Amino acid sequence: MGMATDRPRVLSGIQPTAGSFHLGNYLGAVRQWVALQESHDAFYMVVDLHAITVPQDPKELRANTRLAAAQLLAAGLDPERCTLFVQSHVPEHAQLGWVMNCLTGFGEASRMTQFKDKSAKQGSDRATVGLFTYPILQVADILLYQANEVPVGEDQRQHIELTRDLAERFNGRYGQTFTVPKPHIIKETAKIFDLQDPTAKMSKSTANPKGLVNLLDEPKVTVKKVKSAVTDTDTEIRFDAEAKPGVSNLLTIYSTLTGTGIPELEQKYAGKGYGALKTDLAEVMAEFVTPFRTRTQEYLDDPETLDSILAKGAEKARAVAAETLATTYERIGFLPAKH
C-alpha cells in the first residue's frame, strides 16, 4: 500500500437505493472507477447515509447495501487496488457533514438543481431536509479524503463545484486544510439517456421502466428494451446528439461497451437501418450483463467474504477520515476531548 500514497486520490460513491445499478450509473461512473484504481489511490463507497434522504425499508436497505457492494466488485473493483466501504461505517462523514452545513449559505444550497429535480418528482412538501442538504454531506464525503478527483456523471458537476467553493472558503477562513478537488467527467458517457425519452437522463426514478436498462435484469428483458428503443423517423445511422438523440445514445453505449469508435460504427451500419444496429447492440448488452449478473450473485452467495471486504475497507477509510476530521476540529477551535 506504500506506493499508493504517491498517487493522486479519487473518491466517489453510489446509492444503494434501486437494487440493480442501471446502465447510466455504470457507463457514467462505475466504469471510470474501475479504470482509476490502476492509477490512483482510490476510495469508493456505498452511500447509505444518502439513501435515507428518501424513505427506505430497513431490511431492503441492508440487502441493497450488500447488493451495491457486490455489483461494484462484479464490475471490476478489486479490494487489493482500492478501498471499498460503506459510508455509515465511517462516522466522520456525518461529523464533517455538520461542519460543512454550518459553512454553506441557505441560498447557495437552494440553487442545487438536483434537489429541485428530486423534490419535484416526489412532491416538494414531502421532501426531507436531508434531501435538501445531501449535496453538503457529499462535500464532506469528498473533503474527508483530500480527494484530487471525483469521477461522476454530468448530473453531479454542480455538487463538485459546491465542494470546491466550500473547501476554498474553509481554507481561506481557517488556513490550508482541504484539497480542492476536480470533477473527473468523461464527456462521451457523462450523460446516458433514457431509451424511451432520449432527451432525459437515464434514471432509476423514471416513469417508464422501458427506457431504463438495469444491469441485473434478465438479459432477454434488456434485449427487448434495446430493440424497442426510440430513434427517429429517418433511417440514417449517424451521431448527432442534437438532431438524432436516440440513435446517438445507442451509438455511445455500443461504442463504450465494445471499444469501437463511433465513426467506425457509422460506417459499419451505413445503409443498414436501425433494426440491424439495435439487434447487434442488444447482443452486445446481453454479453455484457450475463457475466455481470453471475459475478454479482457469486458475491451475494458469500456474504461473509463480502462483509469482511467492507470491514477492511472501512478500517482503511477511517484512518484517513479521522485524521482530516481531527485537523478540521482543531482549526475550528473545538476544545480537544481529554483522552
Q: List the catalytic residues.
A: 118, 201, 204
- 28 DSSP assignment: I
For the bound state, the minimum distance from the C-beta of residue 255 to ligand AQP, rounded and expressed in Å, comes to 15
Cα separation of 253 and 269, whole Å? 15
The least CB distance from residue 24 to ligand AQP, in Å, is 3
Query: Cell triple for residue 2?
Result: 506504500
Report which of 298, 192, 208 is spatially closest to residue 245, judged by C-alpha positions.
192
Number of residues in contact with ligand AQP, rule: CB under 6 A? 21
Distance CA 326, CA 331 (A): 9
Which residue, 24 or 269, is less far from ligand AQP as judged by CB? 24
Q: Write out the binding residues for ligand AQP, residues 155-194 only, by CB under 6 A.
A: 155-156, 190-192
**C-beta nearest to ligand AQP: residue:** 28
From the CB of 17, what's the least distance to ligand AQP, in Å?
5
Instruction: Give the DSSP per-residue string, 247-278.
Output: HHHHHHHHHHHHT--HHHHHHHTTTT-HHHHH
Grid cell in block for residue 27: 457507463
> Site mask, ligand AQP, residues 90-129, x = CB under 6 A?
----------------------------x-----------
State the CB neighbour count (10 A cutoff) for residue 55. 10
Query: Which residue from 18, 11, 139 is spatially nearest to 67, judged by alpha carbons?
Result: 18
Backbone angles phi and psi of 260, in degrees to 5: -90, 135
Binding segment for ligand AQP (CB under 6 A), chosen from 150-158, 214-222, 269-277, 280-288, is 150-158
Q: Give residues 199-258 in contact with ligand AQP (rule: CB under 6 A).
A: 201-205
Restricting to residues 18-37, name those near ligand AQP by CB under 6 A.
Answer: 22, 24-25, 28-29
Interface residues with ligand AQP (CB under 6 A) are 14-15, 17, 22, 24-25, 28-29, 118, 152-153, 155-156, 190-192, 201-205
